[in-house]
Amino acid sequence: MTRLQTLTVAAGLLAGTALSAQAQELQFIMCGGEVRPADQVVIDKFQADNPGVTVKMEAVEWGTCQDKSMQLAAAGDPPDVAYMGSRTLRQLAKNDLIVPVTFTPEEEAAFQPGVLKTVSSGGQYWGIPHAFSTKALYINCTLVEAAGAECKAPETWADLIALAKTVTDNTDAAGIGIAGKDFDNTMHMFLDFLYSDGGKVFNDDGTPALDSKQTRETLQLYADLIPYMESGPTEWERDQMKDLFNDGQIAMYVNGPWGEGQHKEKVPNQIIVPVPHGPSGPSGTILITDSLAVFKGTGNEELATKLAKALTSGEAQYDLDMTWGLTPILDYEKLGMTDVFYKKGNWPVFVAGISTGGPEPMVEDFKALQAVFTNMIQGILLGEGTVDELVTQAGVELAAVR
């Protein structure tokens, strides 16, 4: 592996010495409950390069972390930087609590396609992406072969339905696991399929786009899969699917790259393949990021942005992607790195869908957005409306969210 040519803007870090005439403390809230050793190395170097500057890290569990950062900011005592889900950025920006981020052309070019869309609103970037995930279809080949089928990737939705039916008809397992609980990843799983049919939630100009042919096709897919799903799909969220998959109760479901490690002991005979494509588009995936947000009104915005960029570029970011088992957020080969981890094993499957994927939508009221999808999905799963009726209603509800 060659030494990485980073985009950390070393000159900018050295210029920080001009700011160090007086002591400065940067308050940093890290969602997730831990400060990674690789991050601490960057922080230590940043403090050494900026004499008089200290970085106070506070690791907070996800359950309370984002609310804490937003409440502190709303109360006039914001942290300088916080690591949080990119879904929060629009709300923070709308309330004038964070500063926009500017990337150089070289920095923009280093991101994987579509990543910056997850932090973009109103023509500006509002966060620096720091963790990234895509999704793929997991298949238990033991169950598929027991059903008398060949264990291979279903390319189309018709292939997916046929395979799910074969497993259900010929084994004691359900053909596929579909999340239907009132939870965010129920929406996420639906978007994996919607984005694999060329669909959108919002147009590029921000207008609602959910009331579409592609959404109807995706909801019809769910309707067609009902006979082959796990029992009571409205009671299950995606993260619980791993237990059903490990126990041989479902043959297929959609999950992120971390799923391979969660299954390898109990389901050694598994394959990971792209999400099958619908009739109107190529295979895709939802693109989800967590980001570093720089808060407004601290007096340390410039220095905090430099720290955030140091943590999200080069070797530090590569270490996070590799050790956490995340889809690579940057194209590290463009930065001079060779023998990259995501060219090996099943990683190419998770990388391939990036260019055709779509972002987790950014709205001010994420719970309301989630409800739009939950109502539509549960409506079809429970037989409470037709595809056309439910999609039309979802379009009306989405317009109210914006």
Q: What is the pLDDT of residue 22?
A: 58
The rounded distance, in Å, linking the Cα atoms of 382 and 258 is 31
Instruction: List, for residues 267-279, the tens digit of each pLDDT value.
Output: 999 999 999 999 9
Per-residue tokens: 54: 């200290």
Residue 6: pLDDT band (50, 70, 90) is: very low
pLDDT at 192: 98
- One-letter identity of residue 22: Q
Q: Which residues is 277 bridged to in the sheet?
A: 156
pLDDT in tens, 106-127: 999 999 999 999 999 989 999 9
pLDDT at 222 over 90: yes
Please report, for residues 137, 281, 282, 387, the alpha-carbon distance to residue 177 in angstroms, rounded to integers and kept in the order given.
Answer: 11, 23, 22, 20
- Please give the structure tokens belonging to residue 339: 């023998």
CA proximity to 185, closest of 265, 87, 272? 87
Q: What is d(CA 366, CA 88) in angstroms, rounded to the nearest whole number? A: 8
Residue for token pair 């967590």: 290
Mean pLDDT over 91-104 rounds to 95
Structure confidence by residue, pLDDT tens digits, 359-391 = 999 999 999 999 999 999 999 999 999 999 999
Q: What percent of the chain has pLDDT over 90?
A: 86
Predicted local confidence at residue 35, as pLDDT: 86
Q: What's the pTM?
A: 0.90
* Domains along the sequence of the chain with CATH: 10-132+289-347 (3.40.190.10), 136-284+365-401 (3.40.190.10)
Would you tell me how many other CB atoms lie within 10 Å of the CB of residue 272?
19
Q: Which of 20, 65, 24, 57 is nearest to 39 (CA)?
A: 57
The helix (run of H) or strand (run of E) holding residue 29 is strand 24-31
Encode pLDDT of 18-69 as tens digits.
Answer: 443 457 999 999 988 888 888 888 999 999 999 999 999 999 998 898 889 9
The gap from C-alpha 269 to its chain's centroid, in whole angstroms, comes to 27
Q: How far apart are the first and last CA of the chain?
A: 47
Dist. CA 71–CA 219, nearest whole Å: 37
